Amino acid sequence: MANLVSFLCAAAAAVIASLLNLPLGVIVLAVVVAGVVGLLVGNRARADERRETDQLQMAAVTLADWANRNDGHCETDLAELPADGWELIATPWFHGDVLAVGHRDGFEVGVTCFLETNTEGATTPQTGHLVRLAADVPELHLSRTELRRIRRGSLRDGLDDAVRDRLAAVPPDTESVDIVDRVLYLVRPRWPEFTPPDAHVDAAVALAAVLGDQH
């Protein structure tokens, strides 16, 4: 791949230089420079692809271990997960490159590794943690900024003390917490390449337990 990019860059430089009737020495220099640049670009692209593959494999291994410890399943293809007995699989939030379901403290739990695309088209890896709630609760949408305010004690309106305490205890890198249609959804940046998702899963389950006690 890198050699092909280098060749194409050099060939393009040669054609353009010839069309401009540049001296032979300039044409040779342009071809060499374009070839080197193409080689660097190709190597960079190949390194990025290898890094993405490594991240995916590590996340898959980590989530497979988590699923095994929590009587669940882990796959890289949603269609490969058993549909029977798992309600979270049908939710819109359950998508990504690595998908796992399991049970934790009596709750059905899901963990997903996906890529989030920003307004500029760049992608960032994120991990979603889903918990199936036992009863209907009011919708909730909290951003990272709002969670930070809760930890500081400056956001209190509309939140029960026990719920606020659990929200204040979620890991500091939590990007958002949402509750819709009896599904709690906690998102963090990065994929769990080396550290299992237990801390974020436990935080989500603890919050779900408090919500269940209120209904």
Contact in structure between 6 and 42 (CB atoms under 8 Å):
yes
100 - beta bridge partners? 74, 111
Contact in structure between 100 and 73 (CB atoms under 8 Å):
yes
Residues in the chain: 215
Query: From CA 5, how far away is CA 69, in angstroms rounded?
Result: 46
H or E element in which residue 206 lies: helix 198-213
Contact in structure between 81 and 91 (CB atoms under 8 Å):
no
At residue 33, the pLDDT reads 54
> Which amino acid, residue 66?
W
Residue 7 CB contacts under 8 Å (≥ 6 apart), including other chains = 35, 38
Residues of the chain with pLDDT under 50: 2, 4-11, 13-15, 17, 22, 26-27, 30-31, 34, 39-42, 45, 47-48
Cα 79 to the chain's mean position, in Å? 19
At residue 74, the pLDDT reads 96
At residue 154, the pLDDT reads 80
pLDDT in tens, 69-128: 999 999 999 999 998 889 999 999 999 999 999 999 999 999 999 999 877 778 899 999
Q: Residue 86 — φ and ψ, nearest 5°?
A: -125, 105
Query: From CA 132, how far away is CA 109, in angstroms rounded?
Result: 6
Q: Residue 163 — φ and ψ, nearest 5°?
A: -65, -45
Number of H helices and E strands in the chain, helices first, is 5, 7
CA angle in degrees (0–180, nearest 5) for 167-168-174 = 70
